[in-house]
Amino acid sequence: MAPNDVGSTGIGAAVRRREDFRFLTGRGTYTDDINRPNQTHAVLLRSPHAHAEIVAIDAKAAKASPGVVAVFTGEDFKAINGLPCGWLVHGKNNTPMVEPKHPILADGRVRHVGDPVAVVIAETKDQARDAAEKIAVTYKELPAIVDMKAALKGGGTPVHDAAATNLCFDWELGDKAATDAAFAKAAHVTKLDLVNNRLVPNAMEPRAAIGDFDRATGEYTLYTTSQNPHVIRLLMGAFVLGIPEHKLRVVAPDVGGGFGSKIYHYAEEAIVTWAAKQVGRPVKWTSERSEAFMSDAHGRDHVTHVELALDKDGKFLGMRCETLANMGAYLSTFAPCIPTYLHGTLLAGNYATPAIYTNVKAVFTNTVPVDAYRGAGRPEATFQIERLIDKAARELKTDPAELRRKNYIKPDQFPYQTPVALVYDIGNYDATLDQVLKLSDAAGYAQRKAASKAKGKLRGRGIASYIEACGIAPSNVVGSLGARAGLYEAATVRVNPTGNVVVFTGSHSHGQGHETTFAQVVSDMLGIPMEQVEISHGDTNRVPFGMGTYGSRSLAVGGTAIVKSLEKIIAKSKKIAAHMLEAAEADIEFKDGKFTVAGTDKSKTFGEIALAAYVPHKYPLETVEPGLDETSFYDPKNFTFPAGCYVCEVEIDPETGVVEVQSFSAADDFGRIVNPMIVEGQVHGGLVQGIGQALLETCVYDKDGQLQTGSYMDYTMPRAGDVPSFKVAHSVTACTHNPLGVKGCGEAGAIGAPPTVINAIVDALSEYGVTHIDMPATPNRIWKAIQDAKAARH
Amino acid sequence: MPTVNLTVNGKAVSANVESRTLLVNLLRENLALTGTHVGCDTSQCGACVVHVDGQSVKACTMLAVQADGAKVTTIEGLANGDTLHPMQEAFRDNHGLQCGFCTPGMVMSAVCLVKDRPNITEHEVREGLEGNICRCTGYHNIVQAVLAGAKAMGR
Amino acid sequence: MYNFEYQKASSAADAAAKIKAAGEDGKLMAGGMTLIPTLKQRLAQPSALVDLGGAKDLAGIKVEGNAVVIGAMTTHAAVAASKDVQGKIKALAGLAANIGDRQVRHRGTIGGSIANNDPAADYPAAVLALGATIVTNQRKIAADDFFKGMFETALQPGEIITAVSFPVPEKAGYVKFPNPASRYAVVGVFVAKTGGGVRVGVTGAGNSGVFRAHKMEEALSKDFSAKAIEGMHPPADAMNADIHASAEYRAHLVGVMAKRAIAAAG
């Protein structure tokens, strides 16, 4: 549907967002916009070293500094638990991962640049900062462990004493013997070494947290920049500070983007909550951007060797992979599941490869912890599959699109059991391929290539497919794989006496437009105008429970929880209507907001039923309770499997190595779509994060563990001028196991774009004999690849 | 502490601030105009863009005392009551925002960029927004919004 | 940011008096586009800041004989938009139009940029290549005598740039390869052809700041064409290196940007 079609507010309409008015007029309320009466300000002193022992901390001068209320160090947190990890991975031989304590403030040792050492609380932020500079910390520096391969050799002081060779776990998935057998009979084997570059998520709103403690009620309140306030309440309350849920309220107000980085429970949240009680006043902390670079969880950072076995006809026989995954200095909340259950399980991609084996070694290093970032494991899997297939196509001198088509899982093969644990419910990969070839004008490519050549530019065209697994589930299964949480979602639908509706959802919205999309679902199902529907999220005192927003799960899981509650509302309303209309319940039909006795013109509107539920006169009180308020917890039966195919064309200036993305076409299958305008916006955003990874972004540490990309002066964020406008299209195979038939769209672009761009660049450089280039493909790297290839030929 | 007198969104205001107070802090903390955001500390992200005497500037890279005597417009001063400025309306109509954090700066930059340029090109818009970073939208819809806003402002 | 005493100067003379009174820990502020971020990072701790923003006599552009004279407090946006600069030295207007971003260009000034002499700033390349004269409240300094390596200039304590006088060249061109993150120059080359010969100013690349590419100048003085400097570039060991560009790559880019600057000069 064209974005301008706003004729209706139901499912499928491109309804303009209800949240926009407040954001466009500066009336959003982000955490840093909140100020509590009598509030103090916290500033953290962070380690300048990657690895060092703390010999002594002298905070006397800081405590005496003007405006200082308190100074706390690791000593004050010794008796307090560390930050918990939410996933226990077992490696080979059922060996559990090494799980060292992640202290709130460094406990005798710092393990990455930015590791918090002390906190100063003062009347103003400037006073806190002035005082933090006066804390004298004596460090004894230790050699930094930065490179993963070197780290695994051991030697020196490991990051954690419990892991002598810095190995967190050594995990495998798939049938190794069957895979090796496939390679033994292969007609052709393609091999590739690649790096999935470390990224910094960089939501535009820096993290912030305000802790508040009410001595009268004993209740704590934490305002925080979170994608999942209930998860923070559980992790911080139960595992760190020992505050029971009924005495802890967590509020995540408007949140300025997350991309995964605001899922996790961070030290600063615990610090402000704990300190609020200590100092008897609210404590506010707001991250600076430079602080964010060294304290927000990073993403990706894999080093991989991967091989593909093909028969003489180009059919895939097997794939095997060896990956080193960087965990950083501590285990962030969901870190261990990213390179394992969100990565290894996706290695079949869109293909009917019969045998797959992967081995992942997770490594501790003296760097910022690594966790999920938009895509989380799936971009890494997709990058290695799609780069490998492209290399195979080039080696076999075959069309990369047709090699993919030949090996796709075909529509009649669903449900499809992959050799790496997942069962795909539905898809049509040929359809997205056909759609993207048309969208990207495959037929006109030769002409465009010639035109580029005439300008002295190298043109390349790249294609990549992707599949992702969204709405991680069911809880029983993930529990058996090590998850320490359930992965359901909760929703309450509250119908008020005059027929308006408030939905309380655990799916937090921080850019995704839930306040609009969810309201469309309600409007559609209840047949009432959207204006009568309010979506409430982000406050544990209002929403019954919630697991939050990540992994493109909101509509498939959170939306389904709403649908389940709406179904209960409708079912109860039918009972009430039957009584009021003096008909059998089975004869009541509900359509367009009206309950009608089948075959008659006797009906009651939704509003009349709502009023009756709250003013229960002439009401079936013996069988039906008054009120109209229903809660559901929905635990999905399976993941959903969005998939798609992307094409990118680039032009390279061979003299400078500068790449210009000339066009980018995306054909996605997200199942049914509720708001196409919002879905396309999600695709655009994901694509630019993916193009950013491919061309611009990388987090660099030097050999001493110093962060070289600690601000926007060095970490290249994509800007408007770096990317083109996009061509986006959808096809639909409806998800088979949720009532809306939806799959999720948030991460697709970030998953599919990197291999598409790199495949296009390698295509452009193929005339020099270049077969691979690592991300980000910066001008310097491309220029060097051309020089090296030229030199190799002479 | 120095006193600064300036006009913000058409109203005369006066505040006592330290010399080191940034304009963005004066707006956010002294005047409670929290629509102007801070997204970085190296003057790049543009979340803090406001108009000072009609020109877009980064309020994180200007001292409050430098704005003494100036006319400042923030995102809160753009709409006319509940009637959005044409550029705000264009952002809404083209889904040019997601999380909303970069949006105030983006809109303020856009208004200044397209002033008297109803026929600005897509390329000029993309180049003209180089001082503003958005992490959500991929810029596609922002660019559409700015082009539409430019036309609407020209009418 | 550490606190400081703020003083607003109403003229160049007032600024000179105020900065003298402030003593050695006083600092002048022009547009503040580099100074304020530096203060925010607590990398400088001036006791007093003398703001030149109110010194109306320091802003403005005029044509004097065969020179374009730009007041020190003229913003990049004003230089870029100036009909005089566009008409006389188009490459200089183009350079100003691509410094930083629009918001930086609304505040940043030519005087501030030159006084700071950031090794990756754009203006120093133009000042050097055009053989400009830096006018201060005390004297006139030739471009060749002004830049003294990274962040160092010939300015004495308390000396204030009042204007920069650019002789109008026969032809000039500037092309920069911007740092993708910061927008500063990884390499920027300004080429100017005058009656007195050809001068080539290179910013961003050198490991001791802005420099003149003398060998290129010799070749171009004989034949002002891209062909004349084909394959020519400075030695890599004189180049800066960082995560964005190796020394070898920078050296190569100097050659490419120089050729493109000549093409741009027409």
DSSP per position, C106-123: HH-BHHHHHHHT-TT-SH
User: What class, spelled out in words, does domain C58-265 have in CATH?
Assistant: alpha beta
Name the residue ranges covered by the structural domains of chain A: 34-142+204-257+262-293, 302-410+423-473+638-793, 488-634
pLDDT digits (tens, 9 = 90+) for A157-202: 999 999 999 999 999 999 999 999 999 999 999 999 999 999 999 9
**What does the mean pLDDT of chain A come to?**
96
Q: What span, in angstroms and rounded, lies between the C-alpha atoms of B108 and B126?
A: 15
Answer whether A780 sits within 8 Å of C181, measured CB to CB.
no
Q: Do A717 and C181 touch (CB under 8 A)?
A: yes
Helices (H), A191-258: 229-234
The CATH number of A34-142+204-257+262-293 is 3.90.1170.50
pLDDT attached to residue A794? 75
Nearest CB to A709; choose among C41, C243, C245: C243
Give me the mean pLDDT over the B7-13 stretch: 98
% of chain C beyond a pLDDT of 90: 97
Global pTM reads 0.97
pLDDT score of A3 more than 70: no
Task: Quickly state the pLDDT bin for A755 (edges 50, 70, 90).
Answer: very high
C103 contacts B46? CB cut-off 8 A: yes
**DSSP helix/strand/coil, C124:** helix
pLDDT at A8: 81
Kindly report, residue by residue over C4-15, the tens digit of the pLDDT: 999 999 999 999
Of all residues in chain A, what percent carry a pLDDT higher than 70? Answer: 99
Task: Give yes or no for residue A527 having a pLDDT over 90.
Answer: yes
**B26 and B92 co-located in one domain:** no
DSSP codes, A619-641: --TTTS-S--EEEEEE--SS-B-
Average pLDDT over chain C, rounded to whole?
Answer: 96
Looking at residue A793, what is its pLDDT?
82
Q: Which residue of B has its CA nearest to A717?
A: B133
Mean pLDDT to the nearest integer, A707-712: 97
For domain C5-50, the question of CATH label 1.10.3720.10 is answered with: no
Distance from CA of B130 to the nearest CA of C (A): 6
Question: Where residue B95 falls among pLDDT bands split at 50, 70, 90?
Answer: very high
Q: Model confidence at A360, in pLDDT bands (50, 70, 90)?
A: very high
Query: Average pLDDT of A5-29?
Result: 88
CATH class of A302-410+423-473+638-793: alpha beta
Q: What is the pLDDT of residue A85?
A: 97
Indicate if B73 and B122 belong to the same structural domain: no
Tens digit of pLDDT for each residue in A416-449?
999 999 999 999 999 999 999 999 999 999 999 9
Out of B27, B58, B77, pick the residue that ends a domain: B77
% chain B with pLDDT above 90: 97
Task: Report the relative pairing of strands A489-495 and A40-46 from DSSP bridges.
Answer: unpaired
The pLDDT of A288-308, averaged and rounded, is 98
Contact C40 B41 (CB under 8 A): yes
d(CA A626, CA C48): 72
Return all residues near A786 (Cβ < 8 A) that are at least 6 apart.
Answer: A654, A657, A765, A768, A770
Do residue B109 and residue B92 come from a single domain? yes
Q: Is the pLDDT score of A5 beyond 80? A: no
CATH number at residue B135: 1.10.150.120
**Bridge partners of residue A298, in order along the sequence:** A370
Distance CA C6, CA B19 (A): 6
The residue-averaged pLDDT of B75-100 equals 97
Domain limits at B91? 86-154
Query: CA of A289: which chain C residue's CA is closest?
Result: C41
Residue that terminates a domain, selected from B13, B48, B77: B77
Check whether residue B71 and residue B112 sit in a common domain.
no
* Residue A575, Cβ density class (10 Å: 0-12 exposed, 13-18 middle, ≥19 buried): middle
Q: Do domains A34-142+204-257+262-293 and A488-634 have the same CATH topology?
A: no
pLDDT in tens, C146-193: 999 899 999 999 999 999 999 999 999 999 999 999 999 999 999 999
User: C6 near B63, Cβ under 8 Å?
Assistant: yes
* Residue A259: predicted pLDDT: 97
3-state secondary structure of C198: strand
Do residues C191 and C220 lie in contact, with contact meaning Cβ atoms separated by under 8 Å?
yes
CATH number for B38: 3.10.20.30
- Residue of chain A whose Cα is closest to the Cα of C186: A780
Question: Is the per-residue pLDDT at B155 higher than 90?
Answer: no
Span C56-72, average pLDDT? 97
Residue type, A224: T
CA distance from start to end of chain B: 46
Query: Cα distance from C215 to chain B (closest Cα, Å)?
Result: 35
A488-634 maps to CATH 3.20.20.70: no
The answer to whether the CB atoms of C180 and A716 lie below 8 A apart is yes
Q: pLDDT band for C196, please (50, 70, 90 cuts).
A: confident
**Across A54-58, A248-252, A543-547, least confident range:** A543-547
